[in-house]
Amino acid sequence: MMSEGSIDQQAAKLLKRANEENDDSAEKVQTNKRVKTEEQRTDDERKYPKKKVVLLMAYSGKGYYGMQRNTGTTQFRTIEDDLVTALIKSGCIPEDHGDEMKKMSFQRCARTDKGVSAAGQVVSLKVRLIEDIIEKINKHLPPQIRVLGLKRVTQGFNSKNNCDARTYSYMLPTVAFSQKDYDTTNIAAFRLEPETLQQVNRLFTFYKGTHNFHNFTSQKAASDPSARRYITEMSCGEPFLCSNCEFAVITVRGQSFMLHQIRKMIGLVIAIVKGYAKEEVMERSWGQEKVDVPKAPGLGLVLERVHFDRYNKRFGGDGLHERLEWDREEEAIKAFKEAHIYPTIVETECQEGSMVSWMSTLPIHDFEGTAGETRDNKDLKQDNADDGNDSD
């Protein structure tokens, strides 16, 4: 007869053996799944090899913390977060490329900051050229983000480095150009006089050419060569009515722009037109001393178009690659702006009054002062005043 102890030992051995067999079975299942996944991935890569392409994107930036993805954090949602998710779900890229974007050679042409929109953003990356690729990507994107075009490019193409110039627009209520004693409680009644529009455009012409824009960004020394930027165009168009308020659109084209540069360029001209600063401050702002330059709200800023003139000249006519121009997509671009970008700017401006609120901060700026500490303190106050409107 077996003792109680022997029976317990035998039962323990049997239980251990059963657990080991279960572990082995589970491991085999996991291994089989892994093998099937790898086989599926191999089949996909064989059927749809990865190719270097550019995607033409349009998006409304409201509710997003800019374009660029911050890998490892989900607290601040960006445009690229939603784009990468759509690329994975549509089968354009493997899932592991989402965490390491360098695996797909991803590069954006322009980094737009919090709240800033785009009608012609271009990103370069390697994707599987699946059938109906644009339709499948858009299926997994929210309505305020759209891929509007795709073109094959050379293997070494980089959308940021190959970009020759960028064109931005800035939509604002024309009351921004009213005199400083104007009653801003009745902005709907304001109409921009032709003489004032002429003054605005005359001031914008001063920006054309190459200047040292160290005062138009943050933490950039006057001696830093990267502060020198080349502006080719800048002007304000004719005013128009929208939701009973008068608006206008400023257009600026340059080789590249620093953080907040465009908003500060516009902010300084507004300060001069309103009578807070003298014209000579523009010339002084390009010198070695620090000048207090106000930063206009980010709401109306839109990346309109990016330009690849050198690439088009070299590869556009080689018979293998298309020119990076989007004439066929113009109607889709226009429709997206009218449906998602312009209404958001107008509605937000009318409801929240970001421009009028910002205008009330102009008196705190010292346009005659040159001390760095003074300028930094004013910037801090202004940053607090228009918090939530960060942009390029």
Give CA–CA dist 16/23, Å, rounded.
10
206-214: Cβ within 8 A, 24+ apart: 206/282, 206/283, 207/231, 207/234, 207/252, 207/265, 207/282, 208/232, 208/233, 208/234, 211/286, 212/286, 212/287, 213/258, 213/261, 213/265, 213/286
Are 55 and 105 in contact, with CB atoms under 8 Å apart? Answer: no
Q: Retrieve residue 162's tokens.
A: 């190959």
98-122 burial, b at 16+ Cβ within 10 Å, e below that, comes to beebeebbbbbbbebbbbbbbbbbb
The CA–CA distances, whole Å, from 52 to 41, 44, 74, 251 equal 18, 16, 28, 31
Binding annotation: 168
Give CA–CA dist 157/154, Å, rounded.
5
The residue from 113, 292, 379, 392 that is catalytic is: 113
Q: Residue 145's beta-bridge partner residues?
A: 59
Binding annotation for substrate: 168
Q: Retrieve residue 320's tokens.
A: 């293998």
Give CA–CA dist 361/85, Å, rounded.
40
Catalytic status, residue 113 = yes
Give CA–CA dist 172/355, Å, rounded.
8
Give CA–CA dist 125/56, Å, rounded.
12
Chain-centroid distance, C-alpha 304: 11
Q: Residue 53: count other Cβ atoms within 10 Å of its Cβ.
A: 18
Are 349 and 246 in contact, with CB atoms under 8 Å apart? Answer: no
Contacts of 235 (CB under 8 A, 6+ apart): 201, 204, 205, 250, 251
Helix (H) or strand (E) holding 373: helix 372-385
Residues with catalytic function: 113
